[in-house]
Every structure is written in structure tokens, then in C-alpha cells.
């Protein structure tokens, strides 16, 4: 039997190349994604179009299959790593070409918690969707959030926790914002495996986000609502 013919990415027309990129992201093929991004750039695609039509759309598919139990954490991590490779090329170009900015977010895992896989995915997908993201990393006491809110003046504060024992700390942060009269200045989104919508409401967050794709959609919706409220007042 003859060997399977090697796929030459540069031979593919644009539409097929983009579909191939979705497949390659799904399979976590970082080198292929970087090569395809370079090809599209050489064909005068804008960095913004490559980001949204090829990378973000590909990760959206990965996210759906993760949610539906078809893909698991390792596969999502490999896909994210491939997307990161592509974004590494695009990021400086996006700054130069002035891609649309939807808003600004500060995000971090709460105090006592070192889990950051979900948070990192949210950061990446938010960046891909056009948000400027300041990622505070893991194990953040309330002071870290307050300092970053003051320094960055974001639209959104995102908090993540993976443990039943650490998720109540989100309420500590929100209560501190209320005490300082800052709560209404920000959209507060929370997420993490043991959380649910009820918990999000109970602690006074604006929304609980089940996964990175939902975080992006929720952020867009709440930002638009905020802008509409400002416009109406």
C-alpha cells in the first residue's frame, strides 16, 4: 500500500487551509498552526482575520467537544498550546494593525489555590476575542486584585477557583469591593469546576461562566449591556 500523501499546507486554497487549521488545532499540532499562520500572512490576510476565523473558531470547536465529553483536558491543553503558537506570531501584528478592542480584563486564581488551566484558557480565549487581559496568575489575596484594578482600570474582573475550600474566597474579594464602593465599577465573572450559577449569584458575581467560550460570550454581552446603559443615561 502506498504511503499516505503528505499534506502541503501552502498548496491549499484559503478556505481549505482555514478548515485544515481547525483540524490541526483540534489535534494540537503547534508547528502546523504556526506554518499556516505564516502562509495566511503571506497571502495578505489581516492578523485579526487569521485570529478570529482560523484560531478562535478552531478553539471554539475544541471547546464544544470538551463540553460534550468528546475531548478531555490533555487534548484541550495541546490545542491551546497550538493556538498559543499562532497567537505568538499574531500578537505584535495585532498591536501594529490596531485590531478592535472590546474591553479590558483582570483575571486571577484566588488565594490558596494554584490551579490555573481553566483560567489560562479563559485568558487566551478572551485575548483572541479582542479583550486586553492582565493575568495575575495563581494564589491571589484580595490586595492583588485591588492593586490590579487600580492600575489597569479594567471593565471586567475574573476570578477562578478549582477547590471547594478556596471558592468562598471569591466572596471575600467581592465583599471588599462593595465595602470600598467599587463593586459597580466592574463586571465580575467567576468560574471553576466546583462552581455553579447558584454560587455565582450567592456571592454577588455578575455571572458564573462554565467554560472559556461561555466566558467570552458573557463578557461580550455584559460589556454591550453596560455600554447601552451608559448611552441611555
Chain residues that interact with another protein, rule: CB under 8 A: 69, 72-75, 77-78, 81, 112-117, 138-139, 163-165, 167, 193-196, 199
Of residues 97 and 196, the one with the C-beta less far from another protein: 196
Of residues 60 and 111, the one with the C-beta less far from another protein: 111
β-bridge mates for residue 208, sequence order: 190
Could you tell me the smallest distance in angstroms from the CB atom of residue 191 to another protein? 12
Could you tell me the smallest distance in angstroms from the CB atom of residue 114 to another protein? 4
Could you tell me the smallest distance in angstroms from the CB atom of residue 198 to another protein? 9
Cell of 27: 489535534
Of residues 67 and 220, the one with the C-beta less far from another protein: 67
Could you tell me the smallest distance in angstroms from the CB atom of residue 190 to another protein? 11
Of residues 47 and 108, the one with the C-beta less far from another protein: 108
Output phi, psi for 103, to 5 deg. 160, -175
Four-residue CA torsion sign, 115, 118, 124, 130: negative
Of residues 131 and 208, the one with the C-beta less far from another protein: 208
Could you tell me the smallest distance in angstroms from the CB atom of residue 164 to another protein? 5
Of residues 39 and 59, the one with the C-beta less far from another protein: 59
Could you tell me the smallest distance in angstroms from the CB atom of residue 152 to another protein? 23
Three-state SS string across 66-106, please?
A: HHCCCCCHHHHHHHHHHHHHHHHHHHHHHHHHCCCCCEEEE
Amino acid at each position: 500500500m502506498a504511503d499516505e500523501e503528505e499534506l502541503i499546507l501552502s498548496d491549499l486554497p484559503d478556505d481549505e487551509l482555514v478548515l485544515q487549521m481547525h483540524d490541526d488545532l483540534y489535534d494540537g499540532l503547534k508547528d502546523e498552526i504556526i506554518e499556516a499562520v505564516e502562509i495566511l500572512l503571506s497571502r495578505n490576510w489581516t492578523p485579526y482575520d487569521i485570529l478570529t476565523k482560523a484560531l478562535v473558531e478552531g478553539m471554539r470547536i475544541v471547546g464544544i467537544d470538551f463540553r460534550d465529553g468528546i475531548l478531555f483536558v490533555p487534548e484541550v491543553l495541546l490545542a491551546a498550546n497550538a493556538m498559543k503558537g499562532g497567537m505568538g506570531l499574531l500578537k505584535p501584528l495585532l498591536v501594529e494593525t490596531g485590531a478592535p478592542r472590546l474591553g479590558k480584563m483582570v483575571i486571577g486564581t484566588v488565594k490558596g489555590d494554584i490551579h490555573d488551566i481553566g483560567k489560562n484558557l479563559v485568558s487566551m480565549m478572551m485575548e483572541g476575542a479582542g479583550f486586553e487581559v492582565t493575568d495575575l496568575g495563581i494564589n491571589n489575596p484580595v490586595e492583588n486584585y485591588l492593586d490590579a484594578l487600580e492600575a489597569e482600570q479594567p471593565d471586567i474582573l475574573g476570578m477562578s477557583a478549582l477547590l471547594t475550600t478556596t471558592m468562598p474566597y471569591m466572596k471575600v474579594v467581592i465583599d471588599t469591593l462593595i465595602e470600598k464602593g467599587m463593586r459597580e465599577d466592574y463586571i465580575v465573572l467567576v468560574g471553576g469546576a466546583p462552581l455553579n450559577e447558584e454560587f455565582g449569584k450567592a456571592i454577588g458575581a455578575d455571572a458564573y461562566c462554565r467554560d472559556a467560550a461561555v466566558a467570552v460570550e458573557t463578557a461580550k454581552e455584559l460589556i454591550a449591556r453596560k455600554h447601552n446603559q451608559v448611552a441611555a443615561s
